[in-house]
Amino acid sequence: MTLPFSAASADLGEISLDPLRSEDCARLAQSIVAMAPWSVMNYPADDMRSFLEATSDTVIRYRLERRGEDGGIVSIRYPWLKGPYLELLALLPNFQGKGLGTRILRWLERETVRLEARNLWVCASSFNHDALRLYERHGFQRVATLPGLVVDGYDEILLRKFPLNAQS
């Protein structure tokens, strides 16, 4: 099954959004787990690599890059509770603080509206205040606390955006 998200419609400037290749997974996993929130939870690189390498008819994963430099990962599960679930948005340090998270969320929302989906979902660690601020600034609302979802001893916050509008 081909998932219906068009990376070509993403407005990310000089940064490209390309399908994740298996040969990129180990390298990106090492980079991702070296930064918060994964480093705080001591999340194993092998587990992240396995997650990135796993295939499913309902998941699409993108690698962000600029002129050959890794920028991070976007992983979307669709369908999931009547809409897409942004299951991973990991921006590497050189790509943070430049508005890229905002542009990715706007793109994902436009795609969600285009697909006539009802909800847009995301989850963030309760201590990841920057991520929670980003999502809430874009109209996501906290709907549940999920203890131990990723790692025992840490809570994840499930957020939902509804109703959707492409103007956030």
- Amino acid type, 93: P
- Give the structural domain span for 93: 7-161
Distance of alpha carbon 123 from alpha carbon 149, whole angstroms:
10
- Rounded to the nearest 5 degrees, what angle is found at the Cα of 63, between the Cα atoms of 134 and 47? 85
127 occurs within a structural domain:
yes
2 occurs within a structural domain:
no
CATH number at residue 52: 3.40.630.30
Number of domains in the chain: 1
93 occurs within a structural domain:
yes
pLDDT of residue 133: 97
pLDDT of residue 167: 52
pLDDT of residue 5: 85
Q: In what side-by-side order are the strands of the sheet with 155-161?
A: 16-19, 59-66, 69-77, 85-91, 120-125, 155-161, 141-147
Distance of alpha carbon 103 from alpha carbon 11, whole angstroms:
7
Distance of alpha carbon 109 from alpha carbon 103, whole angstroms:
10
pLDDT of residue 9: 78
pLDDT tens, the chain, 168 aa long: 456 788 887 889 899 999 999 999 999 999 999 999 999 999 999 999 999 999 999 999 999 999 999 999 999 999 999 999 999 999 999 999 999 999 999 999 999 999 999 999 999 999 999 999 999 999 999 999 999 998 899 999 999 999 776 455
